[in-house]
Structure 1
């Protein structure tokens, strides 16, 4: 595999110091050992050396998760477990508070006392809003960059948004089109976007796959209508799990994750591009990420979707909300919301 050196941080051009050595692909799909540097200025993590652009498509095997089938009823609980049923009540209550009450009533769903009660907790309510990526009800046009199997776009279409996606993987893009959703099969670097076109642009676990996140964010902000929002969700390289597990951290995922932008990195992007925004972190994925990171540490790979132990549940669903309440930037995912 052809590699190239990365002399400076791709986010702020600062100097970096090697923090992680000999990290391997947790899915054992790509051979090799990989290293990451920590930027001494913005604290983002970046791979050095990294695959050259020509090699990028070869990093994604046919078994990659974007090829999973889409759930055609995204409004039902994921399972019949207590936590799944409870979380369903919480995010339905949160969606109602975001202005989607009439859309949910059409599906015979409504807010509950239990859901409203748990939404009183600030970080629980914030986490629940992730379901619609923090977008209040609006009959606007949304673009999802790296839309994968199109699950989020299908969900937002049901909430009466006009939806469109960009997906570089031809197999994943084909599945989205088969479900009646408009998708452009292209990389975000190559696609042409008209100015002032979208009310919202979202990227969920996409920014870390990009070689030059700053230029892409600049391009996407230009495609927003005045007042439009850009929302990015990505692994937090300064979160609790990243610091604890280092090269075994599930969010690292070498060699596909090229740049893991820190909260400080997103603040730098705001200043450089002269845009207004907010940065915060989320906790809900910590239970499964904790379990998978432990699996990588003990087995050097993810062999299956692990069953959550009592300690995983305790860490993710009880400690997580309070941890991010008292330490706001310790969560597993970092969210960047920019407004044009």
Structure 2
């Protein structure tokens, strides 16, 4: 690690796995930089030899970690894509499916788009199930939704259109300000610091959040406390066993100091079941093309979300060259780029 730009009091040294508390480990990667926004310093990842978690050590402590997020990409809204005729048709097809299955009110709509989605390879449909976070249509009295790590509030706006009573939490003040500008109830700080009453929510979602927190098990425990019986906990997080990670190694785009812990199916299931959740892993949907392009950009030395993520994730994901890998990750969930969980509170 190169700690240039960081004071000793801003870092914490672990020496053991933050998930299973075992000391046996091996150094996996050295000199990982903040390619998102260029915060000074480079970082080391260790892999636990027991639970196989990949974790940053040393890492910024809770008081200092905000420095990594001063220019993070969730501050602003998602940029709009320029769409030609076929792009607008694809958008309308997707919207008809989301409106029908999840209760959204998106426009424009292509009549019969929901049926067309079932004629395509299933990973195109699963991508939009993932975007809707696999949540059922809300029912009266069962419609309170909390999004932890709400960022700019994009998902909450969509969920609100489907009838959810929404609120969000994020420790990034700039992201919270963006969410509030859209008329959303958004709170700044950690989940634990909000002092929500027990059994308040019917659904809690965490999209690419759990890898950013210092105490993942404590966050899961707090979610269990806040959910009603039968409530849904949905989360997505990078998969340390992903085929893209296996291929690109240290150039995998999910390696950055923002990601304090990276999970496998086994260790993520363990911390969820320890809190009494019934766990089901879901398909991520079309993603291999985006993850491959982002990781390839990192291998070529690209920096900044505008050069790594935006070109990879905003484009169409239908390039035929990647479809065999989409099929492979559809058949073997342990190889897909993200772990996606729908868990119910017993």
Query: TM class, shorter-chain normalised?
Result: 0.7 to 0.9
Aligned match of 2:11: 3
After TM superposition, list the pairs within 5 Å mapping 1:245-264 onto structure 2.
245-253=248-256, 255-264=257-266
Q: Offset of 1:13 from its aligned partner?
A: 2.6
Q: 1:150 to 1:247 in 2, by over 3 A?
A: same
Match of 1:334 among 315, 328, 339: 339
Q: Is the 8 A contact 1:235 1:251 kept in 2?
A: yes
The range that moved more, 218-227 or 299-308, is 299-308
Q: How many residues align?
A: 328
Question: Matched residues in 1 for 2:83 and 2:119: separation?
Answer: 21
- Give the TM-score taking structure 2 as reference length: 0.85
The range that moved more, 275-284 or 136-145, is 275-284
List alignment gaps of at least 5 residues for structure 2.
1-5
Question: Matched residues in 1 for 2:301 and 2:340: separation?
Answer: 30
SS of the equivalent of 2:163 reads coil
Question: Deviations for 1:196-253, whole angstroms, at most 9, x for unmatched residues?
Answer: 1111100111111001111101101110111110111111111011122222111112
After TM superposition, list the pairs within 5 Å mapping 1:19-58 onto structure 2.
19-58=28-67
SS of the equivalent of 1:193 reads coil
Question: Do residues 16 (structure 1) and 28 (structure 2) align?
Answer: no
Q: 1:108 to 1:128 in 2, by over 3 A?
A: closer
Question: Matched residues in 1 for 2:85 and 2:239: separation?
Answer: 28
After TM superposition, list the pairs within 5 Å mapping 1:110-129 onto structure 2.
110-112=111-113, 113-118=115-120, 121-129=121-129
Q: Offset of 1:85 from its aligned partner?
A: 4.6
Aligned match of 1:167: 170
Aligned match of 2:3: none
After TM superposition, list the pairs within 5 Å mapping 1:214-253 onto structure 2.
214-253=217-256
Question: Matched residues in 2 for 1:10 and 1:58: separation?
Answer: 22
Match of 1:65 among 70, 73, 87: 73
Question: Deviations for 1:133-188, whole angstroms, at most 9, x for unmatched residues?
Answer: 00011140110011111100001111111110112222221221121111112222
What is the Cα-based RMSD across aligned positions, in Å?
2.8
Q: Offset of 1:339 from its aligned partner?
A: 0.5
The range that moved more, 39-48 or 158-167, is 39-48
- Give the TM-score taking structure 1 as reference length: 0.86
Q: Is the 8 A contact 1:209 1:259 kept in 2?
A: yes
